[in-house]
């Protein structure tokens, strides 16, 4: 009896998981963060997010039409880029900011390099970096209000660290960067009240970065589904925790290690952007290297750089090293024995 063999290119083992399914699963996992942002910052969050998503969709459609590519605006990737870009913006930015940021992210970072799967850096983070370079005063929102002891108010806003208002941009990391010499404020940052507020999200900051618990809900869902590798967020956050602990007990930073991992966009970046399939290494060993590199750069920027935060630039920097990591740390060939 003759046996018919079918010859085909790898991969030969396939799963019933499409790009669209993954993208919309990630979008779904961000819904708790979106609802929490609306609760903390108001309905303006919706307008910023819709503006970013609409700009991403229109830009992708026009770019694919002009470049005569297949129209894929409904695969979820453009919408996800718009959401992540919006989540990296302060709530008080004018609406042209998310529109321009999404335009740059989709056209320059994604479509110019060939579309989905060909971009070498994360589009949403590149869009944020472009906005930071173009409109730094809008993106950082200089907080120049006078400092008073904990328990007093700034324009009626209590400085208990339980409700630092995003409109004033009085974020905990800004306070640590600009006023490390005021012991009362540093004590407030390290207090249980502040750490609890950071975990729940009732602090100032970018739209999608403030609530660690809501980010964890979405991130754990993606890990359980197998859509992201736990090694990158675990290695990233763990590296920041280890080195912030060392620097805290050696006196280099006055903020406790828990403050460093709960503040800023660490969980947003570690769970939803550093884990991007296209711009992160393909091997497990490579992902550990990538994660540790992100953590080291983040803590270095926070303590030595001019910006209070370093998540975005650390991920973009390591994105550029991903091809080198993949070339250095190669997966074992099928059938190859360990030496």
Q: Which domain holds residue 157?
A: 153-328
Instruction: Tell me: do 118 and 163 sit in the same domain.
Output: no
Other CB atoms within 10 A of residue 2 CB? 4
The pLDDT score that the predictor gives to residue 160 is: 46
Inter-residue contact 49 to 60 (CB < 8 Å): no
Whether residue 195 lies inside any domain: the answer is: yes
Pick the last residue of a domain from 111, 140, 169: 140
- Same domain, yes or no, for 89 and 199? no
- Is the residue at 334 inside a domain? no
Q: Is residue 14 in some structural domain?
A: no
Are 192 and 248 in contact, with CB atoms under 8 Å apart?
A: no
Residue that terminates a domain, selected from 110, 140, 170: 140
E runs forming strands in the chain: 153-154, 157-158
Q: Are residues 178 and 296 in the same domain?
A: yes
Q: pTM here? A: 0.86
Q: Report the distance separating Cα 134 and Cα 81, nearest Å.
A: 19
Q: What's the confidence (pLDDT) of residue 294?
A: 97
Structural domain includes residue 335 = no
Predicted confidence at residue 330, as pLDDT, reads 78
The last residue of a domain, from among 113, 140, 167: 140
* Token pair in block for residue 20: 């669209």
Q: For residue 276, tell me if it sits in a domain.
A: yes
Number of domains into which the chain is organized: 2
Residue 203: predicted pLDDT: 86
Q: How far apart are CA 203 and CA 220, in angstroms?
A: 23
46 within domain boundaries: yes
| One domain, residues 220 and 87 | no
Residues 120 and 189 in one domain: no
pLDDT (0 to 100) of residue 150: 36
Q: Domain check: are 204 and 306 in the same one? A: yes
> Per the domain annotation, does 247 fall within a domain?
yes
Exposure string for 263-284, b = 16+ CB within 10 A, e = fewer: bbbbbbbbbbbbbbebbbbebe
Q: Is residue 53 part of a domain?
A: yes
User: Residue 132: what pLDDT?
Assistant: 93
> Taking the chain (339 residues) in consecutive chunks of 10 residues, what is each chunk's mean pLDDT?
60 68 94 94 94 96 94 93 95 94 96 91 95 89 38 37 45 83 85 91 88 96 94 97 95 93 94 94 95 96 87 95 91 61
Residues 105 and 192 reside in one and the same domain = no
> What are φ and ψ of residue 179, in 5° steps?
-135, 50
């Amino acid at each position: 009896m003759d046996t018919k063999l079918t010859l085909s290119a790898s991969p030969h083992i396939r799963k019933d998981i499409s790009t669209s399914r993954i993208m919309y699963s990630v979008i779904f996992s961000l819904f708790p963060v979106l609802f929490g942002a609306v609760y903390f910052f108001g309905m303006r969050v919706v307008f910023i997010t819709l503006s970013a998503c609409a700009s991403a969709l229109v830009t992708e459609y026009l770019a694919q039409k002009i470049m005569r590519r297949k129209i894929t605006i409904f695969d979820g990737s453009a919408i996800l880029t718009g959401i992540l870009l919006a989540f990296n913006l302060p709530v008080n930015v004018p609406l042209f900011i998310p529109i321009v940021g999404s335009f740059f992210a989709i056209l320059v970072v994604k479509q110019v390099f060939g579309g989905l799967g060909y971009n070498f850096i994360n589009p949403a983070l590149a869009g944020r970096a472009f906005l930071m370079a173009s409109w730094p005063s809008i993106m950082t929102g200089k907080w120049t209000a006078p400092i008073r002891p904990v328990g007093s108010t700034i324009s009626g806003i209590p400085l208990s660290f339980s409700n630092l208002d995003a409109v004033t941009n009085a974020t905990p990391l800004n306070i640590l960067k600009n006023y490390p010499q005021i012991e009362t404020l540093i004590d407030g940052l390290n207090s249980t009240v502040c750490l609890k507020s950071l975990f729940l999200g009732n602090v100032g900051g970018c739209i999608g970065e403030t609530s660690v618990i809501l980010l964890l809900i979405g991130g754990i869902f993606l890990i359980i589904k197998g859509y992201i590798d736990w090694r990158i967020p675990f290695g990233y956050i763990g590296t920041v925790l280890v080195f912030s602990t060392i620097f805290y007990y050696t006196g280099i930073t006055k903020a406790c290690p828990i403050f460093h991992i709960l503040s800023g966009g660490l969980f947003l970046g570690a769970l939803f952007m550093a884990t991007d399939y296209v711009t992160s290494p393909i091997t497990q060993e490579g992902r550990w290297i990538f994660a540790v590199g992100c953590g080291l750069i983040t803590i270095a920027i926070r303590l030595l750089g001019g910006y209070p935060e370093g998540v975005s630039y650390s991920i973009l920097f390591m994105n550029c090293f991903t091809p080198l990591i993949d070339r250095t740390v190669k997966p074992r060939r099928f059938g190859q024995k360990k030496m």
